[in-house]
Structure 1
Amino acid sequence: MSGREFFTARTVTEALAGFRPAHRTPVEDVPLAAALHRVPAEPVTAPDPLPGFARSTVDGYAVRAADTYGASDGLPSYVDLLGAVRMGEEPTVAVRPGGCVAMPTGGVLPAGADAVVMVEYTAETMPGTIEITRPVAPGGGVVRADEDVAAGAELVPAGRPLRAPDLGLLAAAGVTNVAVHTRPRVAIISTGDEVVPPQVRSPAPGQVRDATAAALAGLVADAGGEPVLAGIVGDEPGALKARLTEVLPGSDLVVVSAGSSVGTRDETAGAVAAVGEIWCHGLAIKPGKPTLLADCGGIPLIGLPGNPLSALVVFGQVGTPLLWRLSGCQRPPPSPSARARLSRDLASAAGRLDVVQVTVRDGVAEPLFGPSALLSVLTRADGYVLVPEPATGLDAGSEVEVVLYR
């Protein structure tokens, strides 16, 4: 690309692989109640084995497995009932050859026993005598003391957002606080003399309410960030540079909405160049070509197109992965998806990533088209289909993966 149109243009694949600022958010300790979806800064290991004692997984009878060998409906085994284990208490009775102890699910396995036979395969034929009609192998119906987690083993890894089962496992191990990365602070700056706050009741002709900032704040929060609405900056020379200078020190990521194209009044590139280094200006993506990526003293900056649909599409493809990386996440959680068949042909250009909004009905993905200034295209969509960079399009009837909006 030459002239003023774009410079250092990159594909989205190149951007995701190459634009990797080293900045990471600081670390803080949080209680488990506040740790869901947070990213651990280091692996958390088990101080003790889990569950910590051999326990029954079924209601039944603790036995020596050898005493059940050969048992069947026609030729049962018979053992003496020696006592019972109470939940939450240490057994007061041991299993001897030819004996058994009644067990609740989760009860501590008594000494001498190496298995638990399910109550469904037993009967008390007379007081104190238990009939067994199915054999059980050693270890059957039992969880070992360290079968869930061995002492010193990793409970949760670093760099993966914590899920609800992770919190349960940590609680079981007695871990009540976790060292996690702080939520990235994302300053969102809107630009343009025509942009006014959403609360303006009657915008003047030519003015538009700032819809993009609110939507971007939602995307930031959805990716675990802390959005900070940094206001609207007009087109006067020097204004954006001044605002960037204000917000950069307290931010982990700065997003500038609009002003990244090549019009004579667009100030983003010049202002960013004054406070940082532009990595690329222009992405091979549709919609969203006029996108700017920069490193401002270690703090990444994204300059988004002015059209709302384009801005949100680009942030989803580039900004969200970057945001997870800033929070120390090595394995971002996958988005929900579904397989569907395309209802019509989709044309594309090789070397460009096309993001096509679709509705999904009865396994058929129907593309939605409209100007990139229309947010309603996104609100009507169930998700989107990616036409990969090497492809020149997709044929009607092709099976595609639809990334679904939550």
Structure 2
Amino acid sequence: MSGREFFSTRTVAEALAGFRPAHRTPVEDVPLAAALHRVPAAPVSAAAPLPGFARSTVDGFAVRAADTYGASEGLPSYLDLLGTVRMGAEPTVAVRPGGCVAMPTGGVLPAGADAVVMVEYTAETMPGTIEVTRPVAPGGGVVRADEDVAAGGTLVPAGRPLRAPDLGLLAAAGVTAVPVHARPRVTIISTGDEVVPPSTVSPAPGQVRDATASALAGLVADAGGEPVLAGIVDDEPGALKSRLTEVLPESDLVVVSAGSSVGARDETAGAVASVGEIWCHGLAIKPGKPTLLADCGGIPLIGLPGNPLSALVVFGQVGIPLLWRLSGCDAPPPVPSTRARLSRDLASASGRLDIVQVTVHEGVAEPLFGPSALLSVLTRADGYVRIPEPATGLDGGTEVEVVLYR
């Protein structure tokens, strides 16, 4: 492959739709307290209905709805106060025709009642007599015993990261542990004779500290993965192949931060081809065209450009969706975004996805430009704008979606 810069170039949309290695992380049980953002491996069902008993949603009086029909401020209904329901206790009194029972929010609906009238529409005109000034329909002010979840119903589905309300519903159902996919183990390999560890006090002329690996590790952790920094591999022939052979059996995803020169890309492609099957070498994206995707015996591998900005942009567009898929997620969770107007024209090329970094102030998106070797472009950005493949650019003043960095 010497001297061959790209082959089997694909669009980002093709990569997301077509590059789908079969590997998924194994399943493990985790306690509820550690389950936030984890992906259930199977639906979790309710053993019993929730909330489990008919309960009041308001402070007021449990009644037979029919006893309130026609009630108004000018012609109220009068009901006998039969007793009070205590919180956390089964009612000791039933509602009979012409009677009512005082109810706290969340209290168990007593027998004979089919509604709760809000206290705001009542008054105690004399001891033991309640005046009702507004009618209530059957079921008003009440939650049914199975209104949250029926017995056998799904509490949380498989394939969607658990959110805080999901944990609350699981806790309400008495679920204390959840079977989830393990966090994907993402091995990050840096390559290049010019790359030195971040701890290097005084890099020699031509050397650069490895910034990309640390940033990639942050992206991996933010998406729920477990980053593993596998160090720096020099450009010696065979060195990368040897490292790949070592790490593949222990990885769910391998990411190689490759050199930027044509020769370095060819060396990476050759090493990857010797341990797996290359799906594409070149994505129609700017920045980040020299990206490689491969399937190594079911374990996906991403070969990223050497320039930090390009590497991080591509990993955000392709690597993070792939990481979520490995952890059993049907689709990546939505990311925060906002609408803004472009401050200037943006040029693009048809057939290529352009990712443009922007700042956002008072509803205006200001593009940021700079060489792909400069991480400061990303650190100054509030988010990015996507110029889709069919477009040849965007006019200034166009309202666009800005995907925000968290």
TM-score using structure 2 length:
0.98
Counterparts in 2 of 1:265 and 1:293: CA distance versus 1, 3 Å? closer
Could you tell me how far apart the structure 2 residues matched to 1:275 and 1:332 are?
28
Could you tell me how far apart the structure 1 residues matched to 2:274 and 2:247 are?
14
**Residue identity matched to 2:248:** L
Could you tell me how far apart the structure 2 residues matched to 1:203 and 1:374 are?
17
**Cross-structure match for 1:331:** 331
Could you tell me how far apart the structure 2 residues matched to 1:388 and 1:339 are?
16
Q: CA deviation at 1:259?
A: 3.1
Q: CA deviation at 1:267?
A: 1.9
**Cross-structure match for 2:169:** 169
Please say if residues 21 and 299 of structure 1, whose CA atoms lie closer than 8 Å, have aligned partners that are also in contact.
yes
**Cross-structure match for 1:38:** 38
After TM superposition, the runs of 4+ consecutive aligned structure 1 residues lying more than 3 A away are none
Alignment of 1:102-181 (within 5 A): 102-181=102-181
**Cross-structure match for 1:76:** 76
**Cross-structure match for 1:255:** 255
Could you tell me how far apart the structure 2 residues matched to 1:249 and 1:21 are?
15
**Residue identity matched to 2:10:** R
**Residue identity matched to 1:299:** I
Please say if residues 195 and 209 of structure 2, whose CA atoms lie closer than 8 Å, have aligned partners that are also in contact.
yes
Could you tell me how far apart the structure 2 residues matched to 1:342 and 1:328 are?
37
Please say if residues 259 and 267 of structure 1, whose CA atoms lie closer than 8 Å, have aligned partners that are also in contact.
no
1:94 aligns with 2:94: yes
Please say if residues 31 and 176 of structure 1, whose CA atoms lie closer than 8 Å, have aligned partners that are also in contact.
yes
Could you tell me how far apart the structure 1 residues matched to 2:32 and 2:180 are?
11
Deviations 1:74-133 (A, max 9, x none): 111100000000000000000000000000000000000000000011111111111111
Could you tell me how far apart the structure 1 residues matched to 2:140 and 2:258 are?
65
Counterparts in 2 of 1:316 and 1:154: CA distance versus 1, 3 Å? same
1:184 aligns with 2:184: yes
Please say if residues 72 and 133 of structure 2, whose CA atoms lie closer than 8 Å, have aligned partners that are also in contact.
yes
Alignment of 1:249-398 (within 5 A): 249-259=249-259, 262-263=262-263, 266-398=266-398
Task: Give secondary structure in 1 for the equivalent of 2:263.
Answer: coil
Could you tell me how far apart the structure 1 residues matched to 2:287 and 2:393 are?
15
Could you tell me how far apart the structure 2 residues matched to 1:162 and 1:332 are?
12
**Cross-structure match for 1:235:** 235
Task: Give secondary structure in 1 for the equivalent of 2:147.
Answer: coil
Please say if residues 282 and 292 of structure 1, whose CA atoms lie closer than 8 Å, have aligned partners that are also in contact.
yes
Could you tell me how far apart the structure 2 residues matched to 1:156 and 1:264 are?
47
1:66 aligns with 2:30: no
Could you tell me how far apart the structure 2 residues matched to 1:67 and 1:221 are?
60
Q: How many matched pairs?
A: 405
Could you tell me how far apart the structure 2 residues matched to 1:155 and 1:265 are?
48
Could you tell me how far apart the structure 2 residues matched to 1:121 and 1:167 are?
36
Could you tell me how far apart the structure 2 residues matched to 1:386 and 1:269 are?
28
Please say if residues 338 and 403 of structure 1, whose CA atoms lie closer than 8 Å, have aligned partners that are also in contact.
yes
Counterparts in 2 of 1:264 and 1:190: CA distance versus 1, 3 Å? closer
Please say if residues 309 and 374 of structure 1, whose CA atoms lie closer than 8 Å, have aligned partners that are also in contact.
yes
Could you tell me how far apart the structure 1 residues matched to 2:239 and 2:115 are?
75
1:9 aligns with 2:21: no
Could you tell me how far apart the structure 2 residues matched to 1:259 and 1:156 are?
44
**Residue identity matched to 1:61:** F
Deviations 1:150-172 (A, max 9, x none): 11111111000000000000000
**Residue identity matched to 1:116:** V
Please say if residues 260 and 266 of structure 1, whose CA atoms lie closer than 8 Å, have aligned partners that are also in contact.
no
Percent identity between the two aligned chains? 90
Q: CA deviation at 1:4?
A: 1.6
Counterparts in 2 of 1:158 and 1:264: CA distance versus 1, 3 Å? closer
Could you tell me how far apart the structure 1 residues matched to 2:236 and 2:308 are?
22
Please say if residues 80 and 128 of structure 2, whose CA atoms lie closer than 8 Å, have aligned partners that are also in contact.
yes
Counterparts in 2 of 1:334 and 1:265: CA distance versus 1, 3 Å? closer
Give unmatched runs, 5+ long, in structure 1.
Answer: none
Could you tell me how far apart the structure 2 residues matched to 1:188 and 1:364 are?
36
TM-score using structure 1 length:
0.98
Could you tell me how far apart the structure 1 residues matched to 2:4 and 2:240 are?
21
Please say if residues 6 and 262 of structure 1, whose CA atoms lie closer than 8 Å, have aligned partners that are also in contact.
no
Root-mean-square deviation (Å):
1.1
Please say if residues 259 and 266 of structure 1, whose CA atoms lie closer than 8 Å, have aligned partners that are also in contact.
no
Give unmatched runs, 5+ long, in structure 2.
Answer: none
Q: CA deviation at 1:186?
A: 0.2
Q: CA deviation at 1:266?
A: 4.9
Q: CA deviation at 1:275?
A: 0.6
Deviations 1:312-360 (A, max 9, x none): 0000000000000000000221110000000111111110000000000
